[in-house]
Amino acid sequence: MKKTTPKKLSSGEMELMSMLWEHGSLALSEAHEKLGRPIGYTTMQTRLNRLVDKGLARRSKERPARYEAVISPDDVSANHLDDLLHRVTRGKVVPLVAHLVDDRSISRDELRELKKIIRDAEQRLADQEDAS
pLDDT in tens, 85-107: 888 899 899 988 888 888 788 88
Average of pLDDT values for 17-42? 93
pLDDT for 17? 95
All domains of the chain, ordered by start, with CATH?
1-91 (1.10.10.10), 93-132 (no CATH)
pTM of the model: 0.65
pLDDT for 16? 95
Q: How confident is the model at residue 60 (pLDDT cuts 50, 70, 90)?
A: very high
Give me the sheet containing 26-27, strands edge to edge.
26-27, 66-69, 57-59
pLDDT for 2? 47
